[in-house]
Structures are given as C-alpha cells and as structure tokens.
Chain A
Amino acid sequence: MRYGESFRVALDALRVNRLRSALTMFGVVVGVAAVVVLVAIGTGARDLVEREIEGLGSNIIFVAPGELSLGSAPSISRMQLEDVAYLGRVTGDESAIAVALNSGETVRAGRTQTFAGIVGANENLRNVFDRPLRRGRYLSRTDVETRRRVVVLGSDVARRLFGDVDPVGRQIAVAGGTRFRVVGVFAEVGQTFGQTRDGEVHVPVTTAQRMFGVTRVDFLAVRAPNSEAIPRLQKQVVDALQRKYRGERFSAITQTQLLGTIGTVLGALTGVLAAIAAISLLVGGVGVSNIMLVSVRERTREIGLRKALGARQRDILAQFLVEAVLLTSLGGVAGIVLGAGSALAISAASPVPAVITWWSPALAFGVSVAVGVFFGVVPARRAGRLDPVTALRAE
C-alpha cells in the first residue's frame, strides 16, 4: 500500500476518535513543550552570562589566592601593592598590572548621600580594564605614592550626588568623614551580573588601605598584549607569587577560561532539565503505545478484512505505524508552538532570558517522530501478524 493511502486511513482513524486522539497527543505536547522551553531558558541564561563576561575586556588574567573556580570559597589575600613592581620585573611590563581592594561605603556630597562600591586601585587599573572617562583624569602614580585623597566617580554615583553639575574639583565625604576631591568621572558602562559598575568610585589603593586599616590588595589583574601571550604570563605570575608567598597557592585565569567553566555548568544544567522534560515525553509515548494497542484490538475485524482482500503484513504494519507517528508528530508540532510561545512569553514578562535556537524545535520534532515509531512498532507489528481467519471472526 502506498504511503498516501496509509496517511489518509490514519488521519481518518484519528478524526473518528477526536477526544481520544487529543488526550493521547497531550502527553507528547507537554513533553515537547517542556523540552523547548527549558532549552530556550538554559540557552538564554548562557548567552547572558557570556555576553557579560565578554564585557569585562579581553585578554585579562585575573590573579587571586587559592583555587579560583566556580563554587570555591574565596581565600583571604596576602598580596601587596609592591607585588605590582615585583611582577612587573618578571613580566617586563609593570603598566599592564592592576590591583584592587574592594569595599562598600556611604558617600556624601553636601546633604545628598548614596551607597557606592569603593575600589582602591593603582594607576594602571583604568588601562587594564579599558574604562573610558567622561570628564577629568584618572588616578595617577603620584596619587597612589603619596596617598592623595582624590576620587574618580562612576557615572551613576556622579549623577546621584551632583545631578547635572560637573563634579570635577568638588568634594565628597567617604565613610563618615574622610574628604576626597573629585578628579574625574567615568563614562557609563552598564551592568555585569546585575551589578552596575557605574556605582563604583575609585580611590588610590594606598589611601583605601589606610582608611580600612589593611595592607593587602584583594586581587591583581594582568593584561596580556595578545592571546598567545596568555599561557606564558599565567605561568610567570603564578610561579613568581608562589615563590614569594611560600606554601600558598595562586590561580590566574582568563575570562575565556571562566566563560568555559560557566558555560559547561550551564550547559550541563540545561541538559539535566531537558532530560527531565524528556521523561514526560517518554510517558506520553507509553500513552501512545497503549492507545495504539486499543486501536488494533478495536479494528481486528478490519485488519482481517484488509488481509482477506490482499493486504500484506507490511501494509497493515505501515498503516498503524503511520497512525502512531502522525499522532506523535502532530503532538510534536503543537508542543513546539506551545513551547516557543511560552518561552517568548516568559522572556517578555520576566528578566529570565529565553533564546529559541533552531535546533531545539528540530530536535523535539525528530524525537516526537522517533517516539511514534518506537512506541508504535509493537502495536503495529501485532496488527500485521494477525491471522486473517481469526481476525475476521473477531467480535
């Protein structure tokens, strides 16, 4: 029997039992929709993270004490400002090495006050992280060496404290009294991981150390001249630091490596979620199998008649297999539409991003066809093997 005929017969059989077909399909619809939605959200989350990490600048090696990996507890740093000069001698370019000491404090100008992230930085930090200025200048080497009380404001902080007035040359008070003179304002950069770096203020690292009563720096960042230089620099920096701070471990990783780690974690998470969703697809498939067995039983006499009229085993097999595949693939299409619609709705109504990749609906459709074949083949073979004499006599 040609497939056109099988298709017509199958469509007719599904139409006759509309409610039953719809309920059977529903299991497949839910499974496919769940896979599409979860993959879309997983992909969206990964894209978001990757975009934000890329925003950090390229070829930057982050140096921190301990094993820097996702989920590890941060270690207390023993690194010093002098390490910039020390590492500069090792790598040959001191100006590509930045340090930072982080804290959060209230800042005040006149009667207006706001909360800001205080970054104690050396004069190289702006170049290493490529942070353009809107006004004034960045911290200088002299500022750092002489512990000047000067500050460069993030664009948000500048707006909150001074509104439209140019803040350069004005005074702000940090942490309940220490007065700083504003020397520059950063251009707006936007958010990273939901934190805005426009809410930072940069002060000389030496001034910050004195203010907070510490001698350490939190982390160190090295800008590589190009990506080929990265592995060599990583090794040089880690070796040099471990020589100096005996018994301690240091990590030096790039954003690409960080990206890889996060990508792997999110990819695995997406995979697990999709697998859980696929279980419901499996359950839907069992439903299809069940209904097909009922259908074969109900139509035993019809099968007997078709065989008497010359249908071969494979004609009957094809008829029921086409019916099962039609059931699941229609369910698959409905599921893709429902899933894509839900993903877009979630994306529009919440901060959760959802990205529909071309492959996830294609895969979901392929899987629903495969589910039809897999779960349809047992009932269809049973139908094909019926003995015509027995089948004709069936009630």
Chain B
Amino acid sequence: MTALEAVDVTRTYTMGGVEVTALRGVSLAIEEGEYAAILGPSGSGKSTLMHLLGCLDRPTTGVLRIGGRDVAGLSDTELAELRNRRVGFVFQSFHLLARTSTRDNVALPLVYRGVPRAERRRRAAEALATVGLEHRLEHRPGQLSGGEQQRVAIARALVGDPGVVLADEPTGNLDTRTGDGVMDLLERLNRERGVAVVLVTHEADVAARARRRVHVRDGLVERDESP
C-alpha cells in the first residue's frame, strides 16, 4: 500500500513578482513502512517536496495522493484533518512550545482531533515512554537538552499514530553523537512500529543510513537508489 504518492508534481511560487519554479515534475511513491531519505543541496526543492508530502502545501500541477486520497479537491479544513491523522512532522529546530510541559507539547496533535484531555495525557505519556522520556513529563522544553527536545518532537509526531513521519533535517541542530541517537530512535520506530520515515537532509552520512535514497536537484528527481 502506498502511503504518499506524487505524480508529475510541479510547484511554482511568485516571489516579489518573479515566478520561481521549485519543483518541475516530480513523481515519487512512499510505501507504508518504508525508510527513505530525500537528499539534495539547498535550493534543490527538497523542502518544497516535503511540504507537499506533508499536506502543508498544494501542488501547482500534478497529482498528490495521501493514503490513496487525491488532495486536489480538498478544502483547507479537510487538508488539516488529513495532516493531523496521516503525517507526523519532525523539524530541524524542534518547534516545541516553550511555556508548555513536555506532556502537553506531545499531546498537541490530539487536541485538534478532539480527543478528551485525560485520554490525551495518557497517550502523550505512552509516546514519551516510547522515546525514553517517561521521567520528563512535566519539564519545560528549556529544561531539556537538544537531543531530548528532538525526542520530545518525535514523540509528538508519533502520538497520533500517523502512517508517515516526515523529518526535516532532524539532526541539523545536534552534535554528531546526539544526532546518531536521534537517528537510532527513528530507525527503531520504523522497525518496531512499522511507521514510514522520510528524512529530508543535505548530509550524505545521515542519508546513507536509509534503505532508499532519493536525490533531488533543480526541482527534479535526479536519482532514486534502492538497495
């Protein structure tokens, strides 16, 4: 079963009156349980591709299917619901709410799904246990190390049981050893829970750990390496 599928997708922006084409016709399918890396230099269009795969944006032309569903006809509200249920995001800069406890940060996606508060707190604690932070439930993000913060973000991505986790340079703000720990965690989750992981990175050694590597350059898929 295909989790995410792009068929001949283009994306054009207008910036200061100038048209910029970020994607020129990309076709890509991410299967359920897959572990893939999207690799490319900055400006290659890999971030735009990730935003599209994560339903944060819509393609200019082409077809985008999330869990088999074409996003073209969906309203903003339907798109938000799809994002909430199907995709988990992990960002380079963690994106945690600074004044909110670890547990409430992790529970945030469930708020928008209408899950009752007690249930949210229980599931957030479970997700934090999965990433090895069950002893940090009531800490603020500022009281945690960078590696711990990224693990909180991973717990938040997992809490809603999405099919896919999209990780945008997840180790970009971490030292090598901590970064390795985060990668180990993502790989373990992929292996044990069967969640598809899509890494977006410009670091070859991070990408090298993935089973599949999709090289993007100038808005096109240059090479798709599978073992």
Interface residues of A (CB under 8 A from B): 1-2, 4-5, 12, 16, 301-302, 305-315, 388-389, 392
Contact = CB atoms under 8 A, between A and B. Distances in A.
For B76, B77, B89, B117, the residue with the greatest tally of chain A CB atoms inside 10 Å of its CB is: B76
13 contacts: A5-B117, A305-B97, A308-B54, A308-B95, A309-B84, A309-B108, A309-B156, A310-B80, A311-B80, A312-B81, A389-B51, A389-B56, A392-B56
Contacts of A309: 83-84, 89, 108-109, 112, 156
B91 interface: yes
B175 to A, nearest CB: 24
A392 B51 CA distance: 11
Given A5-B117, A315-B112, 14 more contacts: A12-B100, A308-B83, A308-B89, A309-B83, A310-B83, A310-B112, A310-B160, A311-B112, A313-B76, A313-B80, A388-B56, A389-B51, A389-B56, A389-B57
Nearest to B89: A308
Nearest to B85: A310
Contact of B95 (A301, A312, A314): A301
**From B57, B83, B91, residue with most partner A Cβ within 10 Å:** B83
Interface string B199-214: 0000000000000000
B29 interface: no
Given A1-B112, A392-B95, A313 B77 contact: yes
A286 B97 CA distance: 29
Closest 5 CB pairs of A and B: A310-B84, A310-B112, A312-B80, A309-B109, A305-B95
B94 to A, nearest CB: 10
Q: Is the interface of A mostly helix, strand, loop or mixed?
A: helix
Interface in B69-118: 76-77, 80-81, 83-85, 89, 91, 95, 97, 99-100, 108-109, 111-114, 117
Contacts of B51: 389
A392 B54 CA distance: 13
Nearest to B83: A310
A308 B97 CA distance: 13
A240 to B, nearest CB: 80
A8 B81 CA distance: 22
A311 B56 CA distance: 11
Interface of B: 51, 54, 56-57, 76-77, 80-81, 83-85, 89, 91, 95, 97, 99-100, 108-109, 111-114, 117, 156, 160
Given A2-B114, A389-B51, A389-B56, A310 B76 contact: no
Contacts of B77: 312-314
Contacts of A302: 97
B91 A392 contact: yes
Contacts of B57: 388-389
Contacts of B109: 309-310
Contacts of B83: 308-310
Contact of A306 (B56, B81, B108, B160): B108
A311 B156 CA distance: 14
Contacts of B113: 310
A126 to B, nearest CB: 78
A392 B109 CA distance: 16
A307 B80 contact: yes
Contact of A5 (B85, B95, B111): B111
Contacts of B84: 309-310
Nearest to B48: A389
A302 B95 CA distance: 8
Contacts of B97: 302, 305
B81 A310 contact: yes
Contacts of B114: 1-2
Contact of B112 (A4, A301, A312, A388): A312
A306 B111 CA distance: 10
B150 to A, nearest CB: 15
Contacts of B100: 12
Contacts of B156: 309
B157 to A, nearest CB: 9
Contacts of A307: 56, 80
A381 to B, nearest CB: 13
A313 B78 CA distance: 11
A129 to B, nearest CB: 72
Contacts of A12: 99-100
A322 to B, nearest CB: 14
Nearest to A301: B95
A301 B84 CA distance: 18
Nearest to B168: A392
A302 B91 CA distance: 13
Contacts of A313: 76-77, 80
A308 B55 CA distance: 8
A252 to B, nearest CB: 71
Nearest to A384: B76
A306 B96 CA distance: 10
